[in-house]
Chains A and B, each alone.
Chain A
Amino acid sequence: MISPAPLRHREIFPVVGLDLERAGLVSTEVQRVLRRLGVEPEAVRRAGIVCFEGEMNMVLYTPGGRIILLVYDDRVELIFSDRGAGIPDVELARQPGYSTAPDWARELGFGSGMGIPNMEANSDHLEIRSRLGEGTVIRAVILRRKDETRSGSTHS
């Protein structure tokens, strides 16, 4: 995924764990920034969904961390890094429907096991690196398509 495209924008957003009231704010802000930078609407939409799911995972399962937004001419990258417990089985976590969410989170409509699948469906490349007891880093790459259509946004 190495590209010569120059970096246009870099921004870091802190995420506070278990702060459900403020959860979702980063994705809204990321979309605002991307729109201001003139990023194509479909890439803005996909980045917003990827960011929301990543942010929610950090809020629900970790003490917090940060989200780094990188905007290039040809792509948007979102890097989520947390100081959580780590994911014991990443392949299992990628399975649709798999979730370790507690009941209180499920009652609020989280924890349906679609978070990581949604991140995959809305990005062109998704890397998950997790170390037990240390945390998780997820890097999502969303390509900017100048001739974009509405297809392929959500349905995997």
Chain B
Amino acid sequence: MKLGAVAHTLRLEFLVDAAPDTEVRDGYVSDLLSDVLAHAEPGDLWLTHQRHLNVVAVGKLREVAGIVFVRGLRPNPEVIQKAREEGVNLLVSQDDAFHTAGKLHRLLFP
């Protein structure tokens, strides 16, 4: 399912919509950067509480479909700027990680 459609259905707000046509294959929830580098798969939608600059680098390295900040958390403008430069999709969910992941799972694997 395309990221744009996932965002619309789950009511995720785009902070950076670099490539909304990206295919979301699965999801991954983690706040540990090395864990994401080791175990997230390309095409995963990554749900996290981390919102500093390195998150963009990790998301790009792992080629995730996008990064979703949960519980309404917002990164600072530098992070958004960096993501725009690097072509990394950034989104915000008003739900917490558990509920965002639950809704995403239901959508991707009904």
Known: A24-B54, A31-B61, A154-B39. A53 touches B34 (CB 8 A): yes
Which applies to chain B's interface (DSSP): helix, strand, loop or mixed?
helix
With beta carbons under 8 angstroms apart, the residue of A52, A110, A112, A113 that contacts B61 is A52
Check if B86 sits within 8 Å of A20, measured CB to CB. no
Cβ of B34: which chain A residues have Cβ within 8 Å of it? 53, 110, 112-115, 118
Check if B52 sits within 8 Å of A45, measured CB to CB. no
- Measured between C-beta atoms, what is the minimum distance from A51 to chain B in Å? 9
Interface size class, chain A: 20 to 34
Binary interface profile of B, 76-95, with partner A (CB < 8 Å = 1, else 0)? 00100000001000000000
**Contact surface of B with A, Cβ cutoff 8 Å:** 31-35, 37-39, 48, 50, 52-58, 60-63, 78, 86
**Contact surface of A with B, Cβ cutoff 8 Å:** 20-21, 23-25, 27-28, 31, 45, 48-49, 52-53, 56, 108-110, 112-115, 117-118, 121, 154-156
